[in-house]
Each structure stands twice: as structure tokens, then as C-alpha cells.
Structure 1
Amino acid sequence: MTVGPPATDQAGAIRALVDQVSGVVLGDPTPIRLAAAAFLAGGHVLFEDVPGVGKTLLAKALARSIGGSFGRVQGTPDLLPSDVTGITFLEEDTREWTFRPGPLFNNVVLVDELNRATPRTQSALLEAMAEGQVTVDGVTHPLPDPFFVVATQNPQSGDLGTFPLVGGQRDRFSVSLSMGLPGREAELRVLAGKGGDHALANLRPTADLAVWQRLRHEVDDVYLHPLVASYALDVVDTVRNRTGSRQPLSTRASLALVQLARAHAMAGGLSHVAPDDVQAVAVAGLAHRIIDATNDDLPTARTWVGEFLRQVPTPPSPDRETRAR
């Protein structure tokens, strides 16, 4: 087994990312920590909340703090798949076909108001998220590494001009997060001119892309004790059994939950996954996958997962010095 840097070094890089973004988006840092865990786990983030609470600001702050190239897509009903993936066109000078990459060909991609794009365009985006590549005119083009999508949408279903994501599309996102109101003290700081867009302009990457690439690979080295793996699956099985969903949680959901827990443990300076790490990411990682059972009511789905989580017996935490053999 290859031994990587100490867990504390890994945690320091992640903490710097969270702290910097928290200086722009004031209030509860929990959504920021979970978004960072999703990035480390190789997943993607869907922010679902009412307008005006900082979804897009948080997405931009994450993008600038991670670094690399940045692309943005604004969801509209007339947005075409080629507007996202890119096009092949005929160069007049050379009379050769040339590929012009779309905004997906960036390290961090912000997709604002995803549910205003048509299902066809949504599918093109989500396929790229799942496969790490796009195919245009029969030619496959790999996406950059790292590749991280931060999408936002208004959760109010039935709005004119919106196209709600179906269960299979939601399953492509590692977590679904909501900001909520920042709280009175944080909102007073916002009114006093703290954080916000002017703080965003001063952000710089907290680590090189090579560091993030290394950390994302090292998430797999965070040890998962069989007891904790069994606990994570018990949580998933309980949600499956209690929701009676027409689309029960997939194995992809189980894998994503475990990978999120590994990333959460790394961010906390641990070399192994504790039951606490599973509990910390379960609601964000599972609730958006069962909303067909709650009539598209995401807050209710989150409440359900939280209640089911409390019903599953928690195993003892492995020793902190446990390492994979």
C-alpha cells in the first residue's frame, strides 16, 4: 500500500477551502463542508433553494477557491445540448472539421437554474457528469481532471418554464444542498458590507489543481471498516424499506454515500471512516434520491432520511489508528 501525506495535511487543504468560502457566504458553514466533501469524492453538487439566499454566490466562491478553468451555463428553455457540450464546424481556411468545446470543458462548471433547461439539454449535461466525457458527431472528447459541476435550481415545482429533474437525473448528483437564511447575526454582517460579491472578487485558489487531483485520488485510501460499511448499507436499506419508493435507492447511491463519508473523514483529519461520517453526509447524499416518494417535496424527504437514520443502531467507531492492510 502506498502511504500518502498525513491526514492532517489533507485536512488543512480542505479546511482552507471551507474557511475561504465561508468568508464570502456568511452563515451556516455546513453546506460548504458538504459541497467540499462531494468535490473530493469525485461527485457533483445540486443546490436547491428559494431565490436570493446565495446559491450562485456559493457556487462561484467554490469555483474560485478550487481554481483551474471555470465555465458557466445559464439554464434557459432555448439552451441546446451543443451549447453545453460544444460543436464540430468546418474551418473555411483549411476545409477541415474542427471541434469547438463548450463550457463543460472546464475544471469547475456552474450550471445556474438547471431546471429551466429542457430535458434534452439536461440529459447531455448529466451524461457528461456520469462519464467524464462527451461525444459529439461520433467523436469522444474527455473532460478535464478534476471536473466538478455545481448546479442550482429553484425547488418550487410547477413554475412556468421549468422542467423538473426525474429520479434518474437526480441520482447523478452526490448531494443536494440548501442554504436557507443565514441567521440574524450573519445577515447583519451582510447588511454591514461583509462577505458577498466584493469578497468574491478577492478570492484566489487555496491549492494547486495537482493538489486537488491528489486528494481526490487519496479519498479511496481512507479505510472503511467492514462494520462501518455494513452500517452505511443498513442506513440505505432502511430508507429503501421505509419509503416504498417506485425508484428505490440504487447501488450507485450506496457507493456515493460511502465515498462521501470517506471524503468527510479525510476533511476531519481521520484516516478511517467513523459512523459519525456516514451520519454527517446521509441526509444530503440520500434525500434527493427519494423525492418521488414525497411528491417532489425535498424538505420532507430530508426529514424522512433524518428520522430513518436515528432508527439504525450505530456501531462502535473503529480505532483512530486503524489502517488498511
Structure 2
Amino acid sequence: MNESIKAVEVAIKEIGKVIIGKEEIVEKLFIALLSDGHVLLESVPGSGKTKLATSFAKILNGKFSRIQFTPDVLPSDVTGIQLFNPKKQEFELKTGPVVTNILLADEINRATPKTQSSLLEAMGEHQATIDGETITLPKPFFVIATQNPIDNNHGTFPLPEAQLDRFLFKLEMAYPSFEEEKSILETYRIMEPLDNLETELSLETIAILKQKVKEIEVTETVVDYMLHIARLTREHADIEVGISTRAVLGWMRACQARAFIKGRSYITPDDAKNLMMDIFGHRLVLTMEAALRKTTKQVVQELVKAVDVPVELEVKE
């Protein structure tokens, strides 16, 4: 397992040359990839969301597609279309950018709901139906979507709950610290680090790593702990819509991926707590009254405190 972990560590370090000071964000992208999830990146313009997604795609030796979403983008621009070939006098299938390994859905909330929904099948079932013909997407298939939180009232369409639930994580890229921003200025003053990014992980390696992640042990004690929290979201007085079974399953897989990256053969309650906000933050819908008094983060913190953390009697190595 050590060699496998080393490969991920090297890839994270390589991306760190381009995206300075965001090691935790990069690590969670790998956690999502290895657990068959997708990621929604949110931050103000110019914070490096698109460059992070591009760097991540470049580090993998796979196919990369990018869609710049605008209100006039159609579902067929995403999935593909049947075009008539006058020479052959027949229709031919022209697949869209969704047929790829890494898909960057840039500013996804600028697309209309109809176009947004064209990704639901691809993200949930790893397939796309084009004019009645269903095609299987290549493996891995990983969506990194971006959106700007300050543009919610300027030609944007907020993602519905069904779409948000397809994203394993919603990650927020905060402003860099003073030292990090200074390092960014010094680095980019003399070169473009993205041009020198080296490919470290092949698609074959990713497939092997995914299988190793599935072998990470999940004890009944930790499963019960996670289920108690999940069920509490559906009963809490301040929560109108709790997390789905799909979210709980993704949470467990993400914990396995995190444990693998940390060099453990089993998951712990700390894995669950570390990823809880990233899993819950975009899924929980607070009641109207609660939303006036609390933030989603505060409610998640209450959930953590409400469920006792199990104490493992035996620590396994």
C-alpha cells in the first residue's frame, strides 16, 4: 500500500506547485476521485478554481473536456447529438464533451435548469443517452464543477437539490494567507507553473487505487455512528431536508479513500467528522425559521455534538 500512497502524495505535491496553499482541497479532490464522486468548487472569481481543475486533469493521463456554461448552452452541447450525413444519407452520432475522463463544468450555475439536468444521468449512472441511444462513459468519469457565490442574482440558475446531491463534495476555496499570496506572486512572476506540470498518475493506476480503497475496512461501530448522524438530519427541528442514502453511501466511500490516503487500512470516526461539512453543507436544507438564526455550518456542528463518538476498544494497524 505504501507505493500506492506515495503515488498520490507525489501527485498532490505536483499540483501544489500550481495551486499554492490548497493542499487540503487537492487532497479532497483525490478522495472524491477514488470514491467515484464529483466535486463542486465554489469561491469568488480569480481564486484559482478553474486552474485547480485544469491542473488536476493534467496530472492524470486521461481525456479532459471543458464546458463553459452560459444560458444559451443546450443539453445537446453537453451530451451530443445525432447529425445527418448527406453523403451517407444516414444519421451519425456525434458525442459531446461529457464523453471524457475529467469534465470541467465551468460556472455550472449559469446554465439553464434543462442543461444542468443533462449531467444528472452522467454523474449518477456514468452513462449518457443521446437521442434514445445510451452510451457508457469512460472510466474514470469525474466532474469538477465551479460556481461563483456572488453571482447568484446575475443571470444564474441555482442548482436544484437533485443536482447538488450528485456532488460528493462542495469545497470552498478561501482567500490565500498573506504568505501564500506572496508566494503566488513570486512564482507566477517568472513562469507559468501549469506549463511545467508533469503527469504522475495513469488511468490504470487510478483503477488500481480505487480497488485498494474498496478494501479499506469499515467497522460496524463506525457505520452505526455515521447512520445515527445521518438519521438525525432527517429528524432535527432546524432541518427541512436531511441527507439522502446516496449521500451516506458516498460519505462512507469517501472515508475509505481518506483512510487509504492517510495510510490506514480502516476508517475512524475522525474520517467521518473531517468530511462531514463537505458532504452535508450543500445537501441540508434548513427550515425558514432556522435559516434566519443559524448557518448550515452551525447546524452541522450541532449534529456532531449530539452523537457520541464511539471508542474503539482495539486500535488496528
Q: TM-score range by the shorter chain?
A: over 0.9
Q: Conserved in 2, the CA contact under 8 Å of 1:116 and 1:161? A: yes
Distance 1:243 1:192, change over 3 A: farther
Which residue does the alignment assign to 1:116? Answer: 110
Q: Distance in 2 between matches of 1:207 and 1:52?
A: 27
Deviations 1:267-288 (A, max 9, x none): 1111111111111111101111
Percent of aligned pairs with the same amino acid: 37
Which residue does the alignment assign to 1:278? Answer: 272
Which residue does the alignment assign to 1:207? Answer: 201
Which residue does the alignment assign to 2:180? Answer: 186
Which residue does the alignment assign to 2:143? Answer: 149
Which residue does the alignment assign to 2:315? Answer: 319
Which residue does the alignment assign to 1:237? Answer: 231
Does structure 1 residue 263 correspond to structure 2 residue 257? Answer: yes
Which residue does the alignment assign to 1:3? Answer: none
Q: Which amino acid aligns with 1:56?
A: T
Which residue does the alignment assign to 1:22? Answer: 16
Q: Secondary structure at the match of 1:246?
A: strand
Q: Conserved in 2, the CA contact under 8 Å of 1:26 and 1:195? A: no
Q: Distance in 2 between matches of 1:195 and 1:47?
A: 26
Q: Secondary structure at the match of 1:156?
A: helix
Distance 1:233 1:157, change over 3 A: farther
Match of 1:304 among 287, 291, 299: 299
Which residue does the alignment assign to 2:63? Answer: 69
Distance 1:34 1:133, change over 3 A: same
What runs of 5+ residues in structure 1 fail to find an aligned partner?
A: 1-5
Q: Conserved in 1, the CA contact under 8 Å of 2:241 and 2:285? A: no
Q: Conserved in 2, the CA contact under 8 Å of 1:167 and 1:292? A: no
Q: Distance in 2 between matches of 1:259 and 1:195?
A: 40
Q: CA deviation at 1:221?
A: 1.2
Q: How many residues align?
A: 314
Q: Conserved in 1, the CA contact under 8 Å of 2:45 and 2:148? A: yes
Q: Secondary structure at the match of 1:241?
A: coil
Match of 1:53 among 33, 47, 50: 47
Looking at secondary structure, tell me which structure has more strand per residue: 2
* RMSD of Structure 2 on Structure 1 (CA): 2.1
Q: TM-score, normalised to structure 1's length?
A: 0.91
What runs of 5+ residues in structure 2 fail to find an aligned partner?
A: none
Q: Conserved in 1, the CA contact under 8 Å of 2:233 and 2:241? A: no
Distance 1:200 1:282, change over 3 A: same
Q: Conserved in 2, the CA contact under 8 Å of 1:24 and 1:196? A: no
Q: Secondary structure at the match of 1:242?
A: coil
Q: Distance in 2 between matches of 1:168 and 1:296?
A: 20
Q: Distance in 2 between matches of 1:169 and 1:158?
A: 16
Q: Distance in 2 between matches of 1:267 and 1:195?
A: 33
Q: TM-score, normalised to structure 2's length?
A: 0.93
Q: Conserved in 2, the CA contact under 8 Å of 1:157 and 1:164? A: no
Q: Conserved in 2, the CA contact under 8 Å of 1:249 and 1:289? A: yes
Q: Which amino acid aligns with 1:126?
A: L
Q: Distance in 2 between matches of 1:286 and 1:173?
A: 11
Q: Secondary structure at the match of 1:278?
A: helix
Q: CA deviation at 1:252?
A: 0.8
Q: Conserved in 2, the CA contact under 8 Å of 1:24 and 1:197? A: no
Residues 129-148 of structure 1: pairs in structure 2 closer than 5 A = 129-148=123-142
Does structure 1 residue 107 correspond to structure 2 residue 92? Answer: no
